[in-house]
Amino acid sequence: MKYQSFITKLLAVVLIGVILFHYQNIAAARAAIVAENEAAIAEVEAYNRGIQAENQKREAAASGESGTAEDAGSTAMLYQNGTYEGTGNGYGGPINVSVTIEGDTITAFEVLSHDGEDPAYYALAESLTETVLQEQSADVDTVSGATFSSKGILEALNDALDKAVNG
Amino acid sequence: MRREEIESAVREAAEKYTAAGASAMIRPTSGQVKSKQESLIPAQAKSKQETITPAQQKARRRRQNALLRNVIQVIFFLMMPGAFVAGFSGVKSIFQKVSEGSVLELNSFVMALIGLSLFTIVFGRFFCGFACAFGTFGDFIYWLSGMIQKKLFRRKKQYGLPERLSPWLQKIKFLILALIVLTCATGAYETIGTYNWNPWSVFSFITALRFNLNGYMIGAVILAAIIVGMALKERFFCQFLCPMGAVFALLPQLPFAWLQRDADNCIKNCRACQTCCPVDIRLETDGFRNGECIGCEKCAGVCPKGNLTRWDRTLLKNEMLPVIIRAAILFLMGGYLGLCRFL
């Protein structure tokens, strides 16, 4: 038959598509359950934290040292508050980022310039900024396939964090 | 080897003869009134001065087509050197998501895969023949190897692998694809850390003019081996090893995307198309149907009778325009998908 190979290949591709579609539905259902559980856990944790904070306040009020506690905390911080810029080597050139730190937390992290990266690769590596904000760490996995752009962003982040280190 | 050389020489001579025969058949029409002996001399003199014979015209057209192909290849090489990697990263990304059990996402790599696949379904493997940076690199290495062999060692015929091995070696790429998909889907790709085996990563360093290969030594060695293969066989990587090529070969390419060969009209035992085919398609038995055709259109250029046609070539009455249109569509699509470095 003239179109035998075309039809077999078409059927194979349709089959793969159907399998992936089913997989997607199952994975989405699972992800929804996981998200629900995480939300429940977060709620409980927030509640616990609230109680802990209240207890601490009560203790602090009881011992009467509420004024100096905060000052002591700020000298023990690892990073200075502020916005810092850093540079790293991406795939095809330097990547510049800016990091904002407040009270040892990264509150903002964005890429300022990425001229040397191919757009399709950079689009994936950019998701690292969110991962870094979530994990509060520069030690996160690179995006597979966009390894060099990812490494560039993380290198730039480390560069910026080095500038922010206290002392 | 010697027998093959003789065979190829005979074939070349036959090509020239048929082309000359065709020209002899056409040329006398201008001087039909005169007797043959009289008309021969002025016709020859005339052809030297202004007009060229159909054979020369054909050779010139072939050179122009080859030039067009090379220009398109260079443009894509400079503008979209990461397109083939992005497309295949789409495959890997899908199966890595499966290994994690997480939701598939339409990230830029998957979009590149879908875009290139749709283009290939509609237009055949034009991407392989004209736009893939690694294919262009292979063509360059093979050309370079041929030049060196001709100039330094005065060989008329380039060293190469025997043609009859090709159909078997062409199956290797499906094994490679299966292996990569399996390692991705089981999560082994990340845990073993085979990323530094990837010769494409090393190649991408070179296209980005970075020469620090730390941690990628295995990939560099594999790339070096591939380069040796490329020097020995045209489109060595594309037809034997490329996992993206395997994906393309498995896609249901629409039959009207290919050239059609009018076998009934062929000169007996000509084989010109088969001899020039870089991926050794056995047109007599397989036709274009097995997905191996990379759409380079060399066969259409070499056929002494113009027996290889396609609807758009016939419709536009032009060989170059369909190529330019395809290249433009691919370029716009690549730009839209973020594969172009300078957009």
Closest-approach residue (CA) in chain A for B335: A119
pLDDT at B130: 95
Q: Are residues A69 and A145 in the same domain?
A: no
Q: Which residue has the higher pLDDT, B326 or A147?
A: B326
pLDDT in tens, B176-226: 999 999 998 888 877 776 667 888 888 888 877 777 777 788 888 999 999
Q: Are residues A86 and A55 in the same domain?
A: no
Q: What is the mean pLDDT of residues A95-119?
A: 87
Task: Determine the 3-state secondary structure of A83 from DSSP.
Answer: strand
Confidence of residue B21 (pLDDT cuts 50, 70, 90): very low
Task: Determine the 3-state secondary structure of A97 from DSSP.
Answer: strand
> What percentage of chain A reaches a pLDDT higher than 90?
37
Q: Are residues A88 and A158 in the same domain?
A: yes
Confidence of residue B9 (pLDDT cuts 50, 70, 90): low
Closest-CA residue to B137 (of B77, B57, B185, B66): B77
Cα-based torsion angle of the residue sequence A81, A83, A85, A86 in order, rounded to the nearest 10 degrees: 40
Confidence of residue B117 (pLDDT cuts 50, 70, 90): very high
* Mutation choice for B interface testing from A38, A121, A155 by most B CBs within 10 A: A121
Q: Are residues A83 and A152 in the same domain?
A: yes
Mean pLDDT across chain A: 85
Provide, as residue numbers in chain A, all residues whose Cβ is less than 8 Å from the Cβ of B109: 120, 124, 145
CA B201 to chain CA mean position, Å: 22
pLDDT at B29: 43
Q: Which residue has the higher pLDDT, B53 or A12?
A: A12
ipTM for the complex? 0.77
User: Which parts of B256-309 fold into alpha helices (H)?
Assistant: 272-276, 298-302
pLDDT at A35: 92
Write down the domain spans for chain B. Answer: 1-51, 57-336
Q: Which residue has the higher pLDDT, A28 or A137?
A: A28
In our burial notation (b when 16+ CB lie closer than 10 A, e otherwise), range A84-110 reads bebbbbbbbeebbbbbbbeebebeebe
CB contact under 8 A, A119 and B340: yes
Closest-approach residue (CA) in chain B for A32: B103
Count of CB atoms within 10 A of residue B198's CB? 19
Query: CA B209 to CA B163: how far, in whole Å?
Result: 36
Q: Are residues A64 and A95 in the same domain?
A: no
pLDDT at A25: 94
Provide, as residue numbers in chain B, all residues whose Cβ is less than 8 Å from the Cβ of A146: 89
* Region at B277 (left for phi over 0; alpha for psi -120 to 50; beta for the rest): beta
Mean pLDDT across chain B: 83
Closest-CA residue to B94 (of A23, A45, A132, A134): A23
Last residue of a domain, one of A17, A43, A76: A76
CA B269 to chain CA mean position, Å: 24
pLDDT at A72: 46
Residue A17 belongs to domain spanning? 1-76
Confidence of residue B100 (pLDDT cuts 50, 70, 90): confident
pLDDT at B23: 46
Closest-approach residue (CA) in chain A for B95: A20
CB contact under 8 A, A24 and B103: yes
Domains held by chain A: number: 2
Q: For B109, which of A12, A91, A120 is closest by C-beta distance?
A: A120
Q: Are residues A116 and A62 in the same domain?
A: no
Check which CATH number belongs to the domain holding A81 and give it: 3.90.1010.20
Asked if the model's pLDDT at residue A137 lies above 70, the reply is yes
Closest-CA residue to A121 (of B165, B200, B15): B200
Confidence of residue B8 (pLDDT cuts 50, 70, 90): low
CB contact under 8 A, A120 and B338: yes
> What percentage of chain B reaches a pLDDT higher than 90?
38
Confidence of residue B244 (pLDDT cuts 50, 70, 90): very high
Q: Which residue has the higher pLDDT, B244 or B58?
A: B244
**In this complex, is the C-beta atom of B289 within 8 Å of any C-beta atom belonging to chain A?**
yes
Asked if the model's pLDDT at residue B111 lies above 80, the reply is yes
Q: Are residues A68 and A83 in the same domain?
A: no
Confidence of residue B34 (pLDDT cuts 50, 70, 90): very low
Confidence of residue B323 (pLDDT cuts 50, 70, 90): very high
Confidence of residue B269 (pLDDT cuts 50, 70, 90): confident
pLDDT at B42: 53
Q: Are residues A7 and A33 in the same domain?
A: yes
pLDDT at B193: 64
Confidence of residue B231 (pLDDT cuts 50, 70, 90): very high
CB of B257 within 8 A of CB of B122? yes
CB of B265 within 8 A of CB of B193? no
